[in-house]
């Protein structure tokens, strides 16, 4: 959800004062980085999982307020709509059994959430886009009560000059596609994701960020899990165009974006771009907070949704750090599948970072960006550009090559050997069977033609804990 804000109405002076704070904080972050003051701790990992509350008819259940009130704590929070929640796991070291602890925590939290949701005759499901979602479910009445969301919607629409948001998404299967217009940003609530966090020593972050951009396309292909929107088969990962179009702006610079290029030297460049190119949407500040809290910088960055996003935090050594948030992967299908995706990502980033200059010279940023949309549209059937031979290749063969790279990278990171085998074997089997979440959903619907049965079967398989490549249709 991001940090709640104290008000939802702003005056011109609020924007002026906020920008002054933002300029100071951005300059301070640059100074700290230049002087070597960013944390050198890591590797650390974390994740956020967005999920749906659904009722006994498998429709969205708008009960996150009563749900969260009963659940208590701060590791599960509200999302934009009343039927979405977000689960956060503790930060872990990747060495040893860290990913297994994260796996156990996420599994336990999902079980607790499901049990808690039963009080409202609901349950919880992790899936990119809910197959039973209806357009009326995305009305403004479904917005979670929050100053942040009220203000975000108003300011995002104001930045459009009040013009409605137009959706136009083609279908990878037929000529039907989907076109519509909306008067608010609530269509964003049709998408839920798995967001992976990676913190390394500062000198390693630029290479890891660029590697993360390059890996976005094969990651979205192997993890695709959102093939339907309002009863229509669209992209294998329809979440990608939905999120971009739900927050589209009438300028060349979009707030949901793959970015403008590889970073050259460090990740502070991205915050400097935030300052120079993007006007603030939520100008809320506290004069009593120190610039070293980077409160305005974080709030501004939270209104920009790069598919690979930098985040500022503070490490145990008291120093600020910049970590990576990889946002391209869908929620679900199983916890094991999501942990396998995480292992593939963390390991491949580590290995490709070792020769990042060569890789980025062979795969331009423009091609890496184009790859993302091809992979989101066609899933494991996509062909993408890749480095090495500079030729278009089936994305499945790229993922196949990523697996040994990830294995080597995870060994360098010190992950326990049995976990490397467990998680990467899961990816290998998914690749061998060509059954990721999107392909399972498409096949199941082709067989039965019923979105309620699809959702019911999906939920039962998810609760079983079996990886998606073992799910029957």
Chain centre distance of CA 358: 27
- Residue 460, C-beta contacts closer than 8 angstroms, at least 6 positions apart: none
Nearest residue to 85 via CA among 38, 56, 50: 50
- For residue 381, the tally of other CB atoms under 10 A from its CB is 16
Please state at what angle helix 395-413 crosses helix 335-352, rounded to 10 degrees: 80
DSSP 16: H
Please state at what angle helix 12-34 crosses helix 268-277, rounded to 10 degrees: 160
Q: Which two structure tokens, joined as six digits, stand for 60? A: 């969205």
Please report whether residue 4 resides in a domain.
no
Please report whether residue 124 resides in a domain.
yes
Q: Is 203 exposed, middle or buried (0-12, 13-18, 19+ CB in 10 A)?
A: exposed
Backbone angles phi, psi at 426, to 5 degrees: -60, -45
318: left (phi over 0), alpha (psi -120 to 50) or beta: left
Please report whether residue 144 resides in a domain.
yes
Tell me the three state secondary structure of residue 85: strand
Please report whether residue 147 resides in a domain.
yes
Q: Give the chain's domain count.
A: 1
pLDDT at 8: 81
| CA–CA separation, 224 and 329 (whole Å) | 7
Nearest residue to 180 via CA among 123, 235, 240, 134: 134
Buried/exposed code over 10-39 (b: 16+ C-beta within 10 A; e: otherwise): beeebbeebbebbeebbebbeebbeeeebb
Asked if residue 119 lies in contact with residue 182, where contact means CB atoms within 8 angstroms, the answer is no
Q: Which two structure tokens, joined as six digits, stand for 180? A: 């519509």
pLDDT at 1: 53
- H or E element that contains 67: helix 64-71
| CA–CA separation, 48 and 319 (whole Å) | 23
Q: Which two structure tokens, joined as six digits, stand for 102? A: 């994260």
Q: Which two structure tokens, joined as six digits, stand for 299? A: 């709030």
Domain boundaries, position 291: 12-468
Q: What is the CATH number of the domain that holds 286?
A: 3.30.590.20
Please report whether residue 380 resides in a domain.
yes
Asked if residue 43 lies in contact with residue 25, where contact means CB atoms within 8 angstroms, the answer is no
Alpha helices in 118-265 (DSSP H): 147-159, 202-223, 239-246
- Residue 224, C-beta contacts closer than 8 angstroms, at least 6 positions apart: 128, 236, 237, 330, 375, 376, 379, 380, 436, 437, 438, 439
> What pTM value is reported for the model?
0.97
Please report whether residue 227 resides in a domain.
yes
Q: Is 422 exposed, middle or buried (0-12, 13-18, 19+ CB in 10 A)?
A: middle
Q: What are the residue ranges in the chain where pLDDT is below 70? A: 1, 390
pLDDT at 3: 76
> pLDDT tens digit string along 180-209?
999 999 999 999 999 999 999 999 999 999
- H or E element that contains 400: helix 395-413
Please report whether residue 315 resides in a domain.
yes
Please report whether residue 1 resides in a domain.
no
362: left (phi over 0), alpha (psi -120 to 50) or beta: alpha
Q: Return the percent helix, strand and coil in the chain, to nearest 5.
A: 50, 15, 30
> pLDDT tens digit string along 78-101?
999 999 999 999 999 999 999 999
């Amino acid at each position: 959800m991001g940090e709640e804000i104290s008000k939802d109405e702003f005056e011109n002076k609020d924007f002026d004062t906020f920008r002054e704070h933002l300029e100071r904080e951005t300059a301070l972050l640059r100074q700290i980085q230049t002087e070597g003051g960013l944390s050198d701790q890591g590797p650390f990992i974390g994740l956020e999982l967005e999920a749906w509350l659904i009722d006994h008819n498998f429709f969205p259940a708008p009960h996150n307020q009563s749900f969260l009130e009963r659940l208590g704590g701060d590791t599960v929070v509200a999302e934009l709509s009343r039927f979405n929640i977000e689960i956060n796991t503790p930060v872990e070291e990747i060495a040893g059994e860290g990913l297994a602890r994260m796996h156990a925590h996420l599994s336990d939290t999902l079980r607790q959430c499901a049990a808690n949701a039963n009080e409202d005759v609901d349950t919880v499901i992790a899936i990119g886009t809910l197959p039973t979602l209806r357009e009326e479910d995305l009305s403004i009445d479904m917005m979670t009560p929050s100053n942040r969301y009220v203000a975000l919607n108003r300011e995002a629409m104001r930045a459009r000059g009040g013009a409605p948001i137009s959706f136009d998404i083609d279908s990878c299967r037929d000529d039907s596609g989907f076109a519509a217009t909306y008067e608010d940003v609530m269509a964003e609530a049709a998408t839920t994701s798995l967001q992976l966090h990676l913190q390394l020593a500062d000198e390693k972050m630029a290479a890891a960020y660029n590697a993360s951009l390059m890996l976005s396309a094969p990651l979205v292909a192997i993890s695709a899990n959102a093939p339907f929107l309002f009863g229509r088969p669209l992209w294998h990962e329809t979440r990608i165009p939905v999120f971009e179009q739900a927050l589209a702006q009438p300028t060349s610079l979009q707030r949901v974006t793959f970015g403008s290029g590889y970073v050259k030297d460090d990740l502070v460049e991205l915050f400097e771009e935030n300052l120079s190119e993007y006007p603030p949407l939520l100008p809320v500040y506290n004069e009593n907070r120190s610039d070293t809290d980077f409160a305005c910088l974080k709030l501004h960055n939270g209104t920009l949704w790069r598919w690979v996003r930098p985040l500022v935090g503070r490490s145990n050594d008291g120093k600020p750090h910049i970590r990576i948030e990889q946002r391209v992967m869908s929620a679900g299908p199983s916890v094991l599948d999501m942990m396998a995706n995480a292992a593939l990502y963390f390991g491949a980033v580590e290995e490709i970072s070792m020769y990042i200059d060569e890789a980025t010279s062979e795969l331009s940023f423009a091609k890496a960006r184009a790859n993302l949309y091809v992979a989101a549209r066609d899933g494991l059937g996509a062909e993408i550009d890749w480095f090495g031979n500079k030729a278009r290749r089936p994305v499945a063969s790229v993922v196949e090559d990523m697996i040994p790279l990830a294995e080597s990278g995870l060994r360098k990171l010190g992950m326990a050997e049995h976990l490397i085998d467990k998680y990467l074997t899961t990816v290998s089997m998914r690749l061998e069977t060509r059954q990721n979440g999107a392909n399972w959903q498409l096949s199941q619907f082709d067989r039965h033609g019923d979105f309620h049965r699809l959702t019911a079967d999906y939920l039962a398989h998810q609760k079983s804990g079996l990886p998606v490549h073992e799910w029957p249709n």
